Amino acid sequence: MPQDAPTDSAAMLNGHRAGFDVTMGFRYVRATADEVVMEYEVGPEHRQPYGIVHGGVHCAIVESACSTGAGLAALARGQSVVGVENHTSFIHAVREGTVRVHAVPLTRGRRSHVWEATSRDAAGRVIATGRVRLLCLDPGTDLAGQP
């Protein structure tokens, strides 16, 4: 591996999953400051009453993938990130199988990032796309009333 290759943090992130990502079964395949790949197996917890994956699940994994990438990039400056906007479009319905999401940065500034993600089904068909804008927080910045 070249010396300047980005560090893949997927194994570390999978070892420390908690809360929502665990509940939804999201797992990291690759996670660097330049690219994040996540996936999940569609199960009953992902479906809405028509039997297709709920749009909120698409939004959530887009947010998770983009936030992780931005967070890894901001970490190098001692910052953390929070999402401030998520625009996710649903392209094709999916009922089962593996969903894989690939996120990459569009812009990475000192104060904000914009990341874009594409979700695909097991056949490679695009099922959702999303764009997330994130705010970079300096150390000690209050968030929801706490530093």
Active site residues: 63
Q: What are the residues whose beta carbons fall under 8 Å from the beta carbon of 5, sequence distance 6 or more?
A: none
Q: What are the residues whose beta carbons fall under 8 Å from the beta carbon of 139, sequence distance 6 or more?
A: 78, 79, 80
| Two structure tokens written together for 66 | 């983009």
Q: Which helix (H) or strand (E) holds 103?
A: strand 98-108
Q: How far apart are CA 36 and CA 121, in angstroms?
A: 17
